[in-house]
Amino acid sequence: MRDFLPVDVRKREYVIGIIKQVYESYGYEPLETPAVENIETLMGKYGEEGNQLVFKILKRGEKLAQSASFSSSERDESRSLNDLADLALRYDLTVPLARVVADRRNELPKFFKRYQIQPVWRADRPARGRFREFYQCDVDAIGSSSVIVEAEIITAASDILDRLGFDDFVVRINHRQLLSQMASDAGISNENEAFVALDKLDKIGVEGVKNDLLSRGIDGATAGKFLSSVTGDVTFPELNRVIALCNSPRVKIDPSLARGLSYYTGTIMEINVPDIAGSLGGGGRYDGLIGMFGKEQIPACGFSLGLERILVVMDERGMFPPEIAESRAADVMVTIWNDETIPDSLRLADDLRKQNLRVLVYPEADKLGKQVKYADSTGVPFVCLLGPDEIENGVAKLKNMRTGEETTGPAVEIFPVIARSR
Amino acid sequence: MRDFLPVDVRKREYVIGIIKQVYESYGYEPLETPAVENIETLMGKYGEEGNQLVFKILKRGEKLAQSASFSSSERDESRSLNDLADLALRYDLTVPLARVVADRRNELPKFFKRYQIQPVWRADRPARGRFREFYQCDVDAIGSSSVIVEAEIITAASDILDRLGFDDFVVRINHRQLLSQMASDAGISNENEAFVALDKLDKIGVEGVKNDLLSRGIDGATAGKFLSSVTGDVTFPELNRVIALCNSPRVKIDPSLARGLSYYTGTIMEINVPDIAGSLGGGGRYDGLIGMFGKEQIPACGFSLGLERILVVMDERGMFPPEIAESRAADVMVTIWNDETIPDSLRLADDLRKQNLRVLVYPEADKLGKQVKYADSTGVPFVCLLGPDEIENGVAKLKNMRTGEETTGPAVEIFPVIARSR
């Protein structure tokens, strides 16, 4: 897990700000759920591997003592370990959404469109570019099975990437019914096994997927038939409707797109750029999940943008605007002449802030050279020098740290110089 | 722990937005740390009670199996329980900051001013208005023992409350050395016990604190002497300097202000409003904490604003601006006439978004009355009706949901009507 220093936070907030703004423009509303869920809410939703990767929280106080004494007289070890935890860290944003919708159906609009940008935690072995705490940026539309939902989700995600400056992404779409049909036509009985194998196509290629299918007990002829159909040309009415409504050359049917999760029931989608393996985001329709948490079966479709991956690509390509990439603590630093002039310096700083400038005050009456050197080390573009002469004359001396140029004048004259340079 | 529905998130983000903006204007920079810390980082920093309230995360896989088999052959039960957890949830934002500063001193400016707005978790018994997950909004200045630091921290927190609309808050300040002097003058040997008791003055009154002191083995005469000095008039040079630099009638010395935490070493401060027990925020100077994580002793001073409490008071007093308090999903909803006109409705929605409007599209070709009724239920102020006649004539019909008034015209004419009403 990582600490984010100021420049990292600013880059993340820049991207998150655009994501929020675009999703708000489509009428998606913000939702936040707690980091911690009851352990039963999460268990069994992400497959056996997922169960292992959920961070589990130790019971506390008496509850723990009871479980511990219970478990020591208990033979079944895995049972006793589960008794130690009652809570768990959020593993994704979809299951908490499904819980909220099932619990609070009456407080939410019939067509609930929500976005949610929060961290999730997975007990993966740390690997390059993978973290155990990472942000997901999810958008979901609940309550309608109309194809308008898919079109809006794809268009909104595309708008975000456009706004961030991506000009080479492709949106691949497929449909779970089409995949099922192709699996069944090829003679595959356990389609989920086949989809999990096919989901690795990007990483391991056609031969790799074929071997994976063989290792799952699917014979060579069946695997070959399935692979030739998913890598061929197909058409599917609902996908054609999605493409027509998106009205963008970026959106393409790809019958080999599988997506790993078993809960998808309709259109699935994924966004890729050429220079990075894996996706910038993916999603799909899942009309069965919310029913697992309540009596009512409610249709839903969602998409998750991969914030960490977007940030990596933007960094590598130098896509951040300069004011974000070279972010600084402040627009100007005010110096301190001596202990007696501290109030004057604080007053000047206050005046500068009233002009919407971000202002550092050097905290000590050090030698002036030391103060200016410190300003330089922070990258602040201007220093305001305030000595007894300036105070007496009601002026300040402004030093441009890039050019070395100095201007002396009343505050009203120096404000615009700083403001202009931002 | 709570789910935050859209109107809650918007209120929180409004307050957090102002906090960020003001702290940025003082040159504080954003820092974020992971929700999960190594358990040793947190243990022993918050007292015995704090240790109990830290959420601990169960070890995983092999590590857990090893600890479990080890613990079953182990007599010391509390030892074996600790062996089950290796990670823990963040309990406050100060200890993670101290860890970051000790670890990454060379990457940070000499005078590191940071703000951090993130949730923390405490395994408290849930009580009215107390939550096990809650946000802290911390600001800290590292690296200087100058009184300018205290003055800026107080002034910035006051600016935030001003900007939020609070006009009746008081900033009380005191100094740990002054408290120590008064405790020692009264004949108290364990001053921390006395400060913990005194910290309850707001809640239990002078008599309550006296009884608490007695129960801690301090005799009546000593307790009486201590209490009469902390409730009397005092002066202290460093506090006078803070007050002079803050230059605000809100800032007052209160010799009875104690603050519970044992790590404070200098000025302590707390902000209160009359109609709520407890504080809107508090903090102080802690010159010894960072040294616990590294070789170097580094002076520091910080302040934590209580977001949840600020939100409660603002709600009770109706302090949110109407656009936040009555927040809506969108500025306008576009209807769908039938399946064939969906592309026209999506295009109109797209044009409206280009005018910086937030636009809902009704997702289905339901009866028009049903669509307008749905718009009404969401509180959206305008509906754009688009039928075959409007499409043919290149216009749209705009319905004002409050007045019922309808206007028909080309898109360029209806944009400003919606924009003006925001």
The whole-number pLDDT of residue B67 equals 66
CB pairs under 8 A between A and B: 229
pLDDT (mean) for A212-238: 94
Q: Which residues lie below 8 Å from residue A373, measured CB to CB, with a gap of 6+?
A: none
The answer to whether A180 and A268 are in contact (CB under 8 A) is no
pLDDT recorded at residue B190 = 87
**Whether A11 contacts chain B with CB within 8 A:** no
Q: How confident is the model at residue B82 (pLDDT cuts 50, 70, 90)?
A: low
- Considering only CB atoms, B245 lies closest to which of A119, A245, A342, namely A342
Better-predicted residue by pLDDT, A74 or B131: B131
Would you tell me how many other CB atoms lie within 10 Å of the CB of residue B27?
27
The torsion region of residue B272 among left (phi > 0), alpha (psi -120 to 50) and beta comes to beta
B31–A4 C-beta distance less than 8 A: yes
Residues of chain A with CATH 3.40.50.800: 328-420
- Is the per-residue pLDDT at B69 higher than 60? no
| Confidence grade of residue B74 (pLDDT, cut at 50, 70, 90) | very low
- Nearest CA to A359 out of A413, A422, A311 is that of A422
B residues 285-314 closer than 8 Å to A (CB) = none
C-alpha span between B163 and A412 (Å, rounded): 24
Which residues of A fall within a CB distance of 8 Å from B10?
Answer: 30
Q: Does the beta carbon of A204 lie under 8 angstroms from any beta carbon of chain B?
A: no
Q: Is B146 on the interface with A (CB under 8 A)?
A: yes
- Output phi, psi for B363, to 5 deg: -80, -5
Q: What percent of chain B has pLDDT over 90?
A: 77
Tokens of B361: 């599209």
pLDDT of residue B294: 83
Q: With H, G, I as helix, E, B as strand and everything else as coil, classify residue A362.
A: coil
User: What's the confidence (pLDDT) of residue B75?
Assistant: 44
Whose CA is closest to B100, among B34, B180, B1?
B34
Rounded to an integer, what distance in angstroms lies between the CA atom of residue A74 and that of residue A410?
A: 80
Mutual angle of helices B147-164 and A342-354, in 10-degree steps: 30
Cα(A73)–Cα(A71) distance, integer angstroms: 5
Range(s) for CATH 3.30.930.10 in chain A? Answer: 6-39+91-322
Phi-psi region of B30 (alpha: psi -120 to 50; beta: other; left: phi over 0): beta
Whether residue A392 lies within 8 A of chain B, CB to CB, comes out as no
Q: How many other CB atoms sit within 10 Å of the CB of residue B65?
A: 14
Cβ(A46)–Cβ(A54) below 8 Å: yes
Can you tell me the distance from the alpha carbon of A101 to that of A137, in angstroms, rounded to the nearest whole number?
18
pLDDT level of residue B81 (50, 70, 90 thresholds): low
What is the average pLDDT score of chain A?
A: 91
Select from A370, A399, A403, A401 the least CA-distant residue to A386.
A399
Does this complex have an ipTM over 0.85? yes
Closest by CA position to A132, among listed A42, A49, A54, A34: A54
Specify the pLDDT at position A68.
59
For residue B377, give the nearest of A81, A109, A333 by CB distance.
A109
Which residues in chain A touch residue B13, judged by CB atoms under 8 angstroms apart?
30
The first and second tokens of residue A25, run together, are: 């423009």
Inform me whether the pLDDT recorded for B300 exceeds 60. yes
DSSP codes joined into one string, A139-181: EEEES---HHHHHHHHHHHHHHHHHHT--S-EEEEEEHHHHHH
Cα distances (Å, whole numbers) of residue A211 to A200, A232, A261, B396: 11, 19, 21, 57
Nearest CA in chain A to B53: A60
Strands A359-361, A332-334: pairing is parallel
Query: Does A107 sit within 8 Å of B5, measured CB to CB?
Result: yes
B124: helix, strand or coil: coil
Buried b (16+ CB within 10 A) or exposed e, B218-243: beeebbebbbebbeeebebebbebbb
CA distance A279 to chain B (A): 24
- Higher confidence at residue B389 or residue B60? B389
DSSP class of residue A359? E
More confident residue, A71 or B56: B56
- Chain B residues touching A133 at Cβ < 8 A: 34-36
Q: Which residues of B touch A117 (CB under 8 A)?
A: none
pLDDT, averaged across chain B: 91
Position A74 pLDDT exceeds 50: no
Structure token digits, residue A232: 């061929």
CA dist list (Å): A412 to A321, A345, A406: 29, 15, 16
Confidence band of A81 (pLDDT split at 50, 70, 90): low
Q: Between these two residues, B3 and A323, which has the higher pLDDT value?
A: B3
Number of C-beta neighbours around residue B283 at 10 A: 26
- In single-letter form, the type of residue at position A70 comes to F
Compare all CA atoms of chain B with the CA of A247 and give the residue at the minimum distance. Answer: B343
DSSP B278-334: S-SEEEEE-SSSGGGTSSS---EEEEEEEHHHHHHHHHHTT-S-HHHHT--S-SEEE
B346: chain A residues, CB-CB within 8 Å? 148, 151-152, 155, 245, 247
pLDDT tens-digit map of A98-131: 999 999 999 999 999 999 999 999 998 766 667 8
Confidence of residue B59 (pLDDT cuts 50, 70, 90): very high
Is residue B359 within 8 A of residue A152, CB to CB? The reply is no
pLDDT at A69: 57
The CATH number fitting domain A328-420, selected from 3.40.50.720, 3.40.50.800, 3.30.2390.10, 3.20.20.140: 3.40.50.800
Beta strand segments in A19-69, E: 29-30, 36-38, 56-58
What gap in Å lies between CA A220 and CA A207, rounded to an integer? 11
SS (HEC) of A217-249: CCCHHHHHHHHHHHCCCCCCHHHHHHHHHHCCC
Looking at the partner chain, which of B12, B350, B364 has a beta carbon nearest the beta carbon of A144? B364
Nearest CB to B56: which of A57, A89, A152?
A: A57
Which of the residues B339, B358, B359 would you substitute to probe the A interface, choosing the one with the greatest number of A C-beta atoms within 10 Å? B358
- At B156-177, the pLDDT tens digits run 999 999 999 999 999 999 999 9
| Residue A171 near residue A250, CB atoms below 8 Å | yes
A145 phi and psi angles, rounded to 5 deg: -105, 15
DSSP codes, A314-335: HHHHT-S-HHHHT--S-SEEE-
- Measure the CA–CA gap between A171 and A161, rounded to whole angstroms: 11
Mutate one of A2, A60, A146 to test the B interface: name it (highest B CB count within 10 A). A146
How far is residue B155's CA from residue A342's CA, in Å, rounded to a whole number?
14
d(CA A59, CA B285): 35
For residues B73-100, give the mean pLDDT. 78
**Averaged over B232-246, what is the pLDDT?**
95
**Structure-block tokens of residue A414:** 């120096």
Tally Cβ neighbours within 10 Å of residue B157. Answer: 26
- Model confidence at A294, pLDDT cuts 50, 70, 90, reads confident
Q: Is A25 within 8 Å of B108 when comparing Cβ atoms?
A: no
Asked if B353's CB is within 8 angstroms of A26's CB, the reply is yes
How far apart are alpha carbons A200 and B58 in whole angstroms?
A: 31
Region B216-227: mean pLDDT is 94
More confident residue, B331 or A47: B331
Which of A9-13, A158-162, A181-185, B325-329 has the weakest average pLDDT? B325-329
- The rounded distance, in Å, linking the Cα atoms of A16 and A26 is 16
Which pTM was predicted? 0.93
pLDDT band for position A421 (cuts 50, 70, 90)? confident
Q: Which of A25, A146, A336 minimises the CB distance to B363?
A: A146
The hierarchical CATH code for the domain A6-39+91-322 is: 3.30.930.10
A320-379 pLDDT tens trace: 999 898 888 899 999 999 999 999 999 999 999 999 999 999 999 999 999 999 999 999
Rounded Cα–Cα distance for residues A140 and A284 (Å): 9
User: What number of CA atoms fall less than 13 Å from residue A382's CA on the CB side?
Assistant: 25
- On the 0-12 / 13-18 / 19+ scale of CB atoms within 10 A, B97 is buried
